[in-house]
Amino acid sequence: MSNPWVKRIGILLAVVLVAVVGWRFLSQGKAAKVSYELADVDRGTVEKSISSTGSVAALVTVDVGSQISGQISDLKADFNTQVKKGDLLAVIDPQTYQQRMNSAQADLSVAYASLGTQQANLRKAQTTLDQNRRDYERSKLLAESKLISQSALEDSRKALELSESDLTIAQAQIRNAEASVQTRKASLEQARIDLSRTQIRSPIDGVVIQRSIDLGQTVAASLQAPVLFKIAQDLSQIRIEAKVDEADIGSINAENSATFTVDAFPDQNFNGRVVQVRLASTTVQNVVTYSVMIQANNPRQMLIPGMTANVRIVTARRENVLRVPNDAARFQPPEARAVAANPAGAAGGFAGGGGFPGAAGGGGGFQGGGFNNDMVKQLGLTEDQQKKLDKARQELFAQLRTQQGGGPTGIGGGGPGGPPGGGGGGFNNNGQQQAMRNRFENMMASVLTPEQMEKFRAMRTQRGGQAQSRRGTLWTLEGGAPKAHEMRLGVADDRYTEIVEGDLKEGAKVIVRARTEVAK
């Protein structure tokens, strides 16, 4: 039953195979037509950014706890309560601590009474000593006149010595009583402090964002103080701790601008700035991230602690620069790809616009052992400042050589605006690069004036992308065939790539993609 079906399927497959082979044979004789899509080289803004997420938090959040144990007898603050420093938030039942203070007060009174008794004993011992001293002097005169026996004189001397010992004992008892008074005073003061701690007061001006207790709840203070309230100091400014991947952290610096959105207001962009790049890393499932602290204004207090922020950190921005679409920077005609795959056959390749020398290290600001003239002029460095910076630079390089085992540091010359470059190898992870940036900036801040430091940061922001420049090839259409132009490309965003250097001008047409069609 199945044999006829097998034959029919075999015949059908044979027919299809013959049709395909025939179509391929016929199409070989037809010329392929290539069409190119072009785009303009124009001027505009290119903005490179890094995306991350973080949580909105107040600039300062204080945990208000309790140093004593007891039952909450009164609550004066709730969620969202605006408080001033010293305002009463809650009260722990003070009865136990009041009784302890009363007991300490009574103990102090007893200590004062004991001190009074000892003072009286001291006066008595002093009087007895004076009397015995007079008796002894009188006995000596009588003994010299043979009016009393020698044994009577000896008894008088012993009485004097005993009274001296009694006086010494009385003085020691006075010191002991005085120390007891001081101890009771300290106990009373501690009891007063404990009593005052039954009143939980706000340590800062702010708003209560969390309450962890209820009326009647028992608070147990042991090794760790329990948190009763959380108070945000000032919600007119907030911070975001964004987690940035180690591959991106090297391009982020303090003062980079940032924008972010929150789910509560998805259509509104908020502006902020990077205030700190923390060196401590976090590793979760072999993924290394670093914390970037972003600060933003919140005048209308729309942003609430705990909101998730989708952050975009601008690491480089170029305004009014030549740019091309990213597709143009990535484009390669089929012939160029074939040449790249087979370099031996590159003799008949495309003519280009010439190459460029390799880039220097990453924006160092040092040339030939000192600062370049551009930086000296723009910052207005004095001779004394140049000497100090050169000395600090040498010390910094010496530290780097020590850390790298005495070998070459691989620090390139670079241009102004950043730490010494990494042209010769340098650092093997972004954490080391960030540490180098921080050391370099600290070195500059120790010598420059505040005004010069602001200029330096502006120069660094403006020129930071120079270290990111790279060689690339753009293609134009001349005589119906692609022509290569070797260019120096800079900052790239999700749409455009900056042209740093090259022979193409504004308005030039570059190839962004090619389509191959078989002529009919």
Residues of the chain with CATH 2.40.50.100: 64-92+199-231
Calpha distance 41→509 (Å, rounded): 6
Distance, in Å, from the CA atom of 418 to the CA atom of 416, rounded to the nearest integer, reads 6
pLDDT at 6: 65
Q: Distance (Å, rounded) from C-alpha 78 to C-alpha 52?
A: 34
Compute CA distances 31 → 27, 28, 367, 383, 481, whole Å: 8, 8, 57, 72, 16
Domain with CATH 1.10.287 in the chain: 96-196
Query: Is 470 in contact with 488 (CB distance < 8 Å)?
Result: yes
Helix (H, G, I), strand (E, B) or coil at 102: helix
Rounded Cα distance, 329 and 137, in Å: 119
| pLDDT value of residue 57 | 94
Is the domain defined by 64-92+199-231 classed in CATH 2.40.50.100?
yes
Query: What 8-state DSSP symbol labels residue 486?
Result: E
Look at residue 434 in the predicted model and tell me its pLDDT.
62
d(CA 208, CA 401): 51
Check residue 496 and give its pLDDT. 94
Residues 286-318 as b/e (b if ≥16 CB within 10 A, e otherwise) read eeebbbbbbebebeeeebbbebebebbbbbbbb
Nearest CA-CA partner of 423 in 412, 436, 433, 413 = 412
What kind of architecture, by CATH, is found in domain 48-58+232-320? Beta Barrel (2.40)
What residues does CATH 2.40.30.170 cover in the chain? 48-58+232-320
Q: Which amino acid is at 208?
A: V
Question: Per-residue confidence of the chain (520 residues) as pLDDT tens digits?
Answer: 456 666 677 777 776 776 766 666 555 545 567 888 999 999 999 999 999 999 999 999 999 999 999 999 999 999 999 999 999 999 999 999 999 999 999 999 999 999 999 999 999 999 999 999 998 888 888 888 888 888 888 888 899 899 999 999 999 999 999 999 999 999 999 999 999 999 999 999 999 999 999 999 999 987 777 899 999 988 899 999 999 999 999 889 888 999 999 999 999 999 999 999 998 999 999 999 999 999 999 999 899 999 999 999 999 888 999 999 999 999 988 766 554 444 444 434 444 444 443 333 334 444 434 456 667 777 888 888 888 888 887 887 777 767 655 444 444 444 444 444 444 444 445 556 666 667 777 777 888 888 888 777 767 655 554 546 788 999 999 988 899 999 999 888 999 999 998 899 999 999 999 887 655 5
Return phi, psi of residue 385, to 5°.
-65, -40
CA-based torsion, 85, 91, 95, 97: positive or negative: negative
Question: Which pLDDT belongs to residue 353?
Answer: 42
Cα–Cα separations (whole angstroms), residue 205 to 86, 143, 235, 405, 502: 8, 86, 11, 51, 58
CATH class of 96-196: mainly alpha
